């Protein structure tokens, strides 16, 4: 049987992607388990589906991006920031509509931007060493 190769589809998945997805799965499970539904009454079903997709991608990214940065670049600071953000919100005992966890997932692009900025600073300080003579 002949092998078929599709353009833009890798034959192997990088380990950073696998590690990021595996790290994001528990947060996705918590999101689904707690039953966070941001659907409003009278809202269009397509908009509700779009919002739920946004939250699911965000719940995977909030935990997956720091792990992927660690696996790829060896940066530890995004893991510290993620643990400071995630651990208190995941362990809090409150009603199912936890505001902290919901806000964290709603503003996940900000979290990812902070992860990338902190990782960039750490990577520069570790590997360049010439940033304002700090090290």
3-state secondary structure 75-125: CCHHHHHHHHHHHHHHHCCCCCCCHHHHHHHHCHHHHHHHHHHHHHHHHHH
Judge whether 98 lies within some domain. yes
Q: Is residue 130 part of a domain?
A: no
Total number of domains constituting the chain: 1
Report the distance separating Cα 19 and Cα 15, nearest Å. Answer: 6
Domain of 112 in residue numbering reads as: 15-35+42-125
- Residue 120: inside a domain, yes or no? yes
- Whether 132 is covered by a domain: the verdict is no
State yes or no: pLDDT of 117 exceeds 70.
yes
Q: Is there a domain that residue 23 lies in?
A: yes
pLDDT of residue 4: 53
With a cut of 50, say whether residue 1 has pLDDT above it. no
**Which position has the higher pLDDT, 38 or 101?**
101
Residue carrying the six token digits 């995004």:
78
Q: Report the distance separating Cα 66 and Cα 86, nearest Å.
A: 12
In a domain, 75, yes or no: yes
pLDDT digits (tens, 9 = 90+) for 18-59: 888 889 998 888 888 776 554 444 567 667 778 788 888 988
Q: What is the mean pLDDT of residues 68-85?
A: 92
Phi first, then psi: what are they for 113, rounded to 5°?
-65, -40
Q: What is the pLDDT of residue 53?
A: 84
Residue 113 lies in a domain: yes
8: in domain: no
């Amino acid at each position: 049987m002949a092998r078929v190769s599709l353009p833009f589809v890798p034959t192997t998945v990088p380990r950073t992607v696998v590690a990021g997805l595996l790290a994001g799965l528990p947060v996705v499970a918590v999101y689904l388990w707690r039953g966070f539904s941001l659907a409003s009454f009278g809202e269009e079903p397509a908009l509700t589906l779009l919002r739920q997709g946004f939250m699911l991608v965000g719940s995977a990214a909030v935990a997956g991006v720091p792990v992927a940065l660690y696996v790829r670049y060896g940066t530890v600071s995004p893991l510290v920031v993620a643990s400071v953000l995630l651990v208190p919100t995941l362990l809090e005992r409150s009603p199912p509509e936890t505001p902290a966890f919901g806000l964290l997932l709603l503003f996940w692009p900000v979290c990812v931007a902070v992860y990338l900025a902190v990782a960039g600073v750490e990577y520069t300080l570790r590997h360049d060493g010439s940033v304002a003579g700090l090290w």
